[in-house]
Amino acid sequence: MAAEIHKTAIVSPKAEIGDDVFIGPFCIIGEGVVIKKKTRLASNVVIEGNTEIGENCIIYPFASIGLPPQDMKYKNEKTRLKIGKNNVIREYATVHRASVGSDRLTEIGNSNFLMAYVHVAHDCKIGSSVIMANAATLAGHVIVEDHAVIGGLVAVHQFTRIGSYSMVGGFSGIGQDIPPYTMASGSRAKLYGLNAIGLKRHGFSDETINILKKAYKILFREKRALKDALKKIKTELPQTDEIKHLVEFIEKNKRGICR
């Protein structure tokens, strides 16, 4: 089925619009934009730049996608934004294409839910099945792994990482990496334990959760140096995929780990 484009929408002839796409009233689609099949733009959506939107996404009114980054060193260089399939982007959300100095790509995976007024800055990398609540804000170069939940009005500092299956409470300031599988909250966020309820909801076994609880205790309750804690985890706990990911995440940190 051919795309349905409202008569008040402005679509560049150099945009690539897939089958069964709906572009509602007063949308503006710029040159170089690619929108794949079955994606729906409700109304008043602006998409610009070298931007790709995957299949079956829903973008709500007044969202701005693929506009230039808020970066003083950006001088209109060619950079990209790539958004996967099955994403929901709500009202007034802003997702910027990348700046210079890295791989020049802002990237969002599949099946994410970005609520109203969410901001995703240049060069961010968001995995899949991530939830960002109203007005959550990512500064540049932030990494958010799969299945993370970020509460409303959360501000995440540039170059910070949010681990998989973690949960960040609303109105928090994140200045250091949030380890996978944990909960964090606070104006200068600190950890509040394992995200055990979230892990159960995602089908993690009791055995896996118990092993992660032991790792959390070693890392954050035994007052060990981080290097010593990681060594103990490697030698004393079963090396499940989750434990390996937790250890690797912490070993790669550059901004420090939230404790």
Residues designated catalytic: 122-123, 140
Asked if residues 200 and 221 have their Cβ atoms less than 8 Å apart, the reply is: no
- Helix/strand/coil (H, E, C) string of 170-220? CCCEECCEECCCEEEECCCCEEEEECHHHHHHCCCCHHHHHHHHHHHHHHH
Asked if residues 120 and 145 have their Cβ atoms less than 8 Å apart, the reply is: no
d(C-alpha 98, C-alpha 156), whole Å: 17
Q: State whether residue 159 is helix, strand or coil.
A: coil
Instruction: Report the first-to-last Cα separation within the chain, whole angstroms.
Output: 53
